[in-house]
Amino acid sequence: SGINLKKLNEVDTMLEYSQPLIEFMEAISNEERIILVGHSLGGLNIAYAMEMFPEKVSVGVFLTTLMPDTSHRPSYRIRVGSTFAEDLSIVAKFSNEGYGSVNRIYIVCNEDKAIPEDFQRWMIENNRVKQVKEIKGSDHMAMI
Selecting among 18, 39, 138, 140, the annotated active-site residue is: 140
The answer to whether residue 39 is catalytic is: no
The answer to whether residue 29 is catalytic is: no
Selecting among 112, 118, 138, 139, the annotated active-site residue is: 112
Residue 121: count other Cβ atoms within 10 Å of its Cβ: 15
Burial of 133 (0-12, 13-18, 19+ CB in 10 A): exposed
Q: Dump strand ranges (E) for 18-97.
A: 34-40, 57-65
The answer to whether residue 112 is catalytic is: yes
Selecting among 1, 40, 101, 139, the annotated active-site residue is: 40
Gyration radius (Cα) of the chain, Å: 14
- The residue among 2, 138, 139, 12 whose CA lies nearest residue 85 is 12
Give me the active site residues, please.
Answer: 40, 112, 140
